[in-house]
């Protein structure tokens, strides 16, 4: 991933994703959830508007649940409408991640984290697509 990437419509056979990629994707989404929860708590404490961050947190949770559903056969309780909204929110994150990625130094830990986050979001969107068809 030398050049910056945006959301790609490249499809992966979700069952053929290597275990290391599955693990990295799940860890990446768990990390995103944790960071978002901390940010939400800080914003709530300051009385800031939390609408956007609340939507992102829900989208990350849904994305993680969809990967767990596809790969680990864990049931989920999300409606079709929630899946559609989560997909929209996750895809909306790609431009900002792409910009940060483009500014990151090749070989840096930040770039590796961003590569994993991009892959995790792509796989989460694909899992949502697979379930909402």
* CA–centroid distance for 132 within its chain: 17
Q: Which two tokens stand for residue 101?
A: 């990625």
Range of the domain at 45: 17-131
Query: Residue 62: what are its φ and ψ, rounded to 5°?
Result: -65, -45
Q: How many domains does the chain have?
A: 1
Whole-model pTM: value is: 0.88
* 9 occurs within a structural domain: no
- Nearest Cα neighbor of 61 from 31, 92, 39, 38 is 31
**Structure confidence by residue, pLDDT tens digits, 25-62:** 999 999 999 999 999 999 999 999 999 999 999 999 99
* 61 occurs within a structural domain: yes
**Structure confidence by residue, pLDDT tens digits, 10-20:** 566 888 899 99
């Amino acid at each position: 991933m030398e050049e910056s990437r945006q959301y790609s419509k490249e499809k992966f056979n979700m069952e053929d994703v290597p275990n290391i990629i599955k693990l990295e994707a799940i860890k990446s989404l768990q990390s995103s959830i944790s960071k978002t929860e901390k940010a939400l708590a800080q914003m709530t404490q300051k009385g800031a508007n939390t609408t956007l961050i609340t939507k992102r947190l829900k989208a990350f949770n849904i994305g993680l649940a969809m990967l767990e559903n596809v790969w680990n056969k864990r049931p989920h309780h999300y409606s079709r409408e929630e899946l559609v909204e989560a997909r929209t929110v996750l895809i909306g994150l790609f431009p900002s991640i792409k910009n940060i990625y483009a500014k990151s130094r090749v070989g840096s830990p930040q770039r590796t984290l961003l590569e994993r986050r991009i892959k995790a979001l792509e796989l989460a969107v694909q899992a949502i697509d697979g379930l909402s068809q």
